[in-house]
Every structure is written in C-alpha cells, then in structure tokens.
A and B are shown apart, each in its own frame.
Chain A
C-alpha cells in the first residue's frame, strides 16, 4: 500500500519526536498511523478545546508504546502545539514514552503495561449504556499485547454485556518485541478467537485508508455485539529498513544518519 501525503505528514511528526532523544518505539508507532488517522479524520467525535467533553468518543491506546503515533495525530489535530513534540521523553515533558491520562489532552487512559485498555474500555462502554449516552469506545491493542489473559477476560465481559458501542482494533503487525508472534505465542486463528468470544469480526489491510473508512462507517456491525477489527499491518510501515523487523520495535541511540534515512523514506 503506497502512502499518501497525509500519511507521510503524520510519520514525519513521529520522526520529529525520535530526533529529540534519539529513541522510541518506532515500529509500533509507524504501524498504527493509518488506523489513528482514519479514526481522527473521519470517525471520532471530539473537541480539541474541551478534551473531556461528555459526548466525545473515547479512544484508548492500549498499546501505549505506540504513543508517538497518538501524539502525532493529537498534535496534528491541535490538542496541543506541534512544537511540544520536540519535548518527547524530556524530563519536564507531558509527552512520555507511554501516554498519561490528564497529562496529555486527548489521552483517555494511562497505558503502557499491556492488557489494561480493554477492561477500562469495557467500563467506559458500560457507563454509556447505563446512562443512555451515545458515545463510542475504541480500544487499540497490539498483537503481542493480546497474549495477556486480561484481554480475554474483558472480551468475555464485553460480549456478555452486548457492548455494541465498543470496538477493538488489533494492530496485527505479526511481530512482537522478541520476534514473530507466530513463534513467540501464536495468536492464530485470531479472527476465530474473537468470534468465539462473542465479537463481530472484520479484517482489513490496516494501511488501506479507504478500506478502514468503509469499516468505521459501518460500526456497529451488530447491535448486540462488540466489534473486533483485525488490522493487518506492517511494523515500521513507511520506513523501509525498519519494516517487518523486531530490531526497530524499540530503538535507542539512533544516529543522525538513520534519522536522515527515515526522512528520505518519506520523500
């Protein structure tokens, strides 16, 4: 999937953050860009000057290590100035290596330890049902993240409560920190797993903007079920030498030459 200019713009903001401390979870941020972009550009209801607006849709980045992708889109939307991206991971910055609630406008939960976002999302979605509110809850998980048992505990609960206002996006880039998910702890058959846990399941190329837009426009697919969108993605997408490699999952001591090479990938 060829990246359009908007996808490149977001990725350049991510590289801008990497430049600050020469470090970051690069692969997991790059694989997320189109998912986040579609959600913020065409799906989510939000107000940048009122981050906790009651009617907003809630998006929890459960794979908190992908936060550079989230910070980039939040800055792009105007939740905070883009210049703040130049403080990423600095001592006094609001923008840490994992996102924190009530520190960063637009961040709905402090995440980083894995397997926490979906349980919190279930609580938020239940709250909407109890109070007859219309907001929707979206949770973005990693693929390695769903090794965690807590994800599946919550999946059972989401189905039990028929949380059609809850959607899980799985960033399925097939690589976790150590190596291929298929070797570390195989998730397959992944769609069947979510289906058997009571979700409506769709699969999509997670870098195909049009396809993602078609899916989000159909949410919820089932008025009595939560939805799982399995997004087939490429770790490090857009930075060809980082694509499909665990070495770029998290990297520190990144050289100026490597940063230049990253920019060159996006020309």
Chain B
C-alpha cells in the first residue's frame, strides 16, 4: 500500500508540476526515481516534523501540492499544532501520508503506534481522513487526491494486505462503499479492519446470519447519507477500527446517530482498542488479538447485537 501510494506521488508529479514530495528521514532509496528525475521537487528534510509541516504550508500557499510522508504517529502527534494552524486554519491542500497506522509497528512498542491518530485529526476543522483497505483502493484514492482542496491525512496499513476492494466501486472521497450486502447486521469499518469484517460476515453466514460490510475509507467527512440509508434497515451494527475507541470511526458513527437518528443508536456496538498504552510487543495480529480484535470477537459482538 505504501509502495503504491509513493509510486503514485511520483506518477502524479510527472504530469503535474505542482506536486512536491517531502519526507522526514525515510529509509534509504525511498522515491529515488523522483529524486533523480525531479530533484527540485523532492525533499528529505530530516527529523523535524514541525518544520516540515510549516514548510509544506508555505509551498502550498504558493500553489504547490505537497505530499508529506513519515511514520503515522510522528506526522500526527509531533506537529499537531502545525497541522491545526498551518494546514487546517489556512485550509491548504497538503497531504500527510502516515506509515503504519494502527498497530503495524507493534514490535517497536507504544512510541511507534498510531492508535489515536484518527481521533486527533478528526477534531480539526477542514481535515479529511482517508484509510484505504488495500493497495488497489490506495491507487484509486491517490488519483482522486490531486484536486481535493483541503488537507488530507492518509493512513497507511502494513502492506501486502489482501485485496478486497473492487474497481467497479470506484472511489469518491467521503463516499462509503458497501462491500457486502447487509441482512440483519452491518459491520461499519475502515482501513484493513474491512478485511476482518468480511471474514466475520462470511463466518456468520455459515451460521445463517447475514451481515453486510460498509467500508468507510473516508472517516472524515463521514458519509452520513450511507449511514442514514443503512441504519434503519438493519437490526445490529458493529463498528470496527484499528484505533482507540475514543474519537475514531465508532465515535463518529455514534455522534452522527445521536444527532440525526437517535432511535438507532442502541443498535450500534463498537470494537476498537481500550484506553491503554500497548503493554505487549509481538506482531500487529497478536496485538490486535490481545486487545480482542479477531474474526471471532467480531462475530460474537454481532451475535449479541442481533
């Protein structure tokens, strides 16, 4: 997913001279092809996230479209004020590409996990948050990212994720994609939790329980139309996110429901991380399992909701 994302930055840059790439201190050789072909628009600025965001803002105010890339937690937490003021207050089309959204970096411990990134980005006016579920969807999103007139936070998954998105569904920022038709239940998901929910839905089907999967690749702006359409039609909803239960997708869905369709709020249950720093290393999957995010736990909560 990351490779596709960065390759698209290069591809877009070849045809649009407004595109700029800014990294902090990425691995050796990242986007060498862009560095060699258009060195004037490739920047590796060092471990200086506050500066990098401000610099991207300055370039953007002059008409460039900077794509900024570093580890998700550093590109959101370390420079939060710069994102809030330099990007969001000025409402500039800068793209923040966060590597390792969620617990991709589980073995590296809590300093490297991005478990509240969606929450803090979501709180900022003018910010758009996109978490594609696979590389194919990332490609479709990147082609749409060029002319989106606001700042965007792009949450990357681990990479090598099973491809479940479909070309025919296309990609519109802010428009959810129904990947599986609901019956009684509906999983509302983002990022690679979509794959997990599809597996859970398949498992539940073997038990005679039909569940849909509504993939919210864009967490902000939330596709309220899709929620308004589907919530009345199902008996139970489980939101699933690789993120703290505070302030992420589940919160966004509940907030919308509370504001607009409070009669459906009781249908909604949320799966996400507890309000703790990680106390385990291991792998992304083992940490997800430690925090109770498995196919079986999704099935169990959905059965309970129904």
A residues near B, CB below 8 A? 101, 108-110, 112-113, 115-116, 118-131, 149-150, 153-154, 156-157
Contact = CB atoms under 8 A, between A and B. Distances in A.
Contact of A110 (B40, B48, B52, B90): B90
Contact of A120 (B40, B46, B48, B57): B57
A127 B45 contact: no
B54 A154 contact: yes
Interface residues of B, number: 27
A101 B91 CA distance: 11
Given A153-B48, A153-B50, A157-B48, A119 B86 contact: yes
Given A123-B62, A124-B62, A153-B48, 13 more contacts: A101-B90, A109-B61, A110-B89, A112-B85, A118-B54, A119-B57, A119-B58, A122-B51, A123-B59, A128-B62, A130-B40, A154-B48, A157-B48
A112 B86 CA distance: 11
B63 interface: yes
A150 B82 contact: yes
A208 to B, nearest CB: 30
B48 A127 contact: no
B56 interface: yes
Contacts of A109: 57, 61, 90
A119 B62 contact: no
Interface string B63-93: 1100000000000000001100110011000
B47 to A, nearest CB: 9
B60 A115 contact: no
B85 A123 contact: no
A138 to B, nearest CB: 13
B41 interface: yes
Contacts of A118: 54
A118 B54 CA distance: 8
A113 B85 contact: yes
Contacts of A121: 58
- Interface of chain B, main secondary structure: helix
27 contacts: A109-B57, A109-B61, A116-B81, A116-B85, A116-B86, A119-B53, A119-B54, A119-B55, A119-B58, A120-B54, A124-B58, A124-B59, A124-B62, A126-B58, A127-B58, A127-B62, A127-B64, A129-B40, A130-B41, A150-B48, A150-B54, A153-B46, A153-B48, A153-B50, A154-B54, A154-B55, A156-B48
B61 A116 contact: no
A122 B52 CA distance: 10
A109 B82 CA distance: 13
Contacts of B81: 113, 116
B86 to A, nearest CB: 6
Contacts of A108: 61
B59 A127 contact: yes
Given A109-B90, A110-B85, A130-B40, A154 B59 contact: no
A147 to B, nearest CB: 13
Contact of A126 (B46, B53, B59, B82): B59
B57 A123 contact: yes
B238 to A, nearest CB: 40
Nearest to A115: B50
A120 B64 CA distance: 13
A122 B62 contact: no
Contacts of B89: 110
A120 B61 contact: yes
Contacts of A129: 40
Contacts of A122: 51, 54-55, 58
What 10 A-B pairs are tightest by C-beta distance, nearest first? A123-B58, A119-B54, A127-B62, A153-B51, A153-B48, A150-B50, A120-B58, A123-B55, A123-B59, A124-B58
B63 A127 contact: yes
- Scoring A101, A112, A115, A153 by chain B CB atoms within 10 A of each residue's CB, the highest score goes to A153
Contact of B51 (A124, A130, A150): A150
A14 B60 CA distance: 32
Given A123-B58, A127-B64, A154 B51 contact: yes
